[in-house]
Amino acid sequence: MTYLPYISDEALRTAVKAVFDCILRTQAEAENAMYRNVIDPFSAIFDGAVQGLTLEEWLLRERARQIQKTVQNQIGLFHQHILGSLPGWQILPQGLDICNNERLIFAEIKNKYNTVKGSDKVGIYDYLLIHLNQPTYQSFTAYYVEIIPPGRNPYNKPFTPSDRTTGTIRPNNENIRQISGQAFYDLATGEPEALSMLFDILPDVISDVSGLDKLSEQQKTSFRSLFDKAY
């Protein structure tokens, strides 16, 4: 049985396996680094006292926090791999993230709306504009993709970030757009609710590539509530 109608099982498993391997690798590295690096004792005692944690409990949370930072970066690559594996799409070796030459689209993908500071978004705009001005991409539409948006409503709008150094905003260019994750997945796949479909199938794929037990229906429902709050 095929996992999803818009991507091959092999490509989906490969993308999921990369995240799984990253988590295992990062867990091992964090365990070693925890005792190799100097731990801030002031941070530990404040957190422990306020949250009622023992040192052992605080160390577990600190390790999880360090792992999460690395995993978040891998999740961004996960979406890049998924979208770049769709029919007609490709992952570019350097520079831009993904491209579809038939549909005249290229995109820069960020995992979350606040991954890039507001003051740095002008750099993304300028970077996209530079590529649009190249002969290869002059007829393209450039997308700045925020997989996790700031609110639940999908959007696909001109990207006009503020330049704090000049107190101005970048010019409205219909070919430079800011788009939410769910809207871009719909656009790229041609499947309504494509991102939702991907989320719902992940427990099965994770189990298949890892050999771990599948989540129970109750666990799936609990995690699904987080998706519904984000989208």
Given this model, what pLDDT does residue 22 score? 92
Does residue 112 carry a pLDDT above 80? yes
Q: Which of 76, 98, 127 is the last residue of a domain?
A: 76
**pLDDT attached to residue 40:** 84
Do 206 and 229 have their domain in common? yes
Q: Are 80 and 91 in contact (CB under 8 A)?
A: yes
108 domain residue, yes or no: yes
Instruction: Share the mean pLDDT of the chain.
Output: 92
Give per-residue pLDDT as tens, 181-199.
999 999 999 999 999 999 9
Domain range spanning residue 62?
7-76
**Structural domain count, the chain:** 3
173 class by beta-carbon count within 10 Å (0-12 exposed, 13-18 middle, 19+ buried): middle
Tens-place pLDDT, residues 139-181:
999 999 999 999 999 999 999 999 988 889 999 999 999 999 9
Whether the per-residue pLDDT at 36 is higher than 90: the answer is: no
* Same domain flag for 164 and 218: no
For residue 12, is it within any domain? Answer: yes
pLDDT number for residue 35: 64
142 three-class SS: strand
Q: Quick one: which of 175, 196, 184, 207 has its CA closest to 86?
A: 184
**What pLDDT score does 184 carry?**
98
Q: Is 82 inside a domain boundary? A: no
pLDDT at 34 over 70: no
Q: What is the dihedral of CA 117, 147, 73, 3, to 10 degrees?
A: 180
Q: Global pTM?
A: 0.89
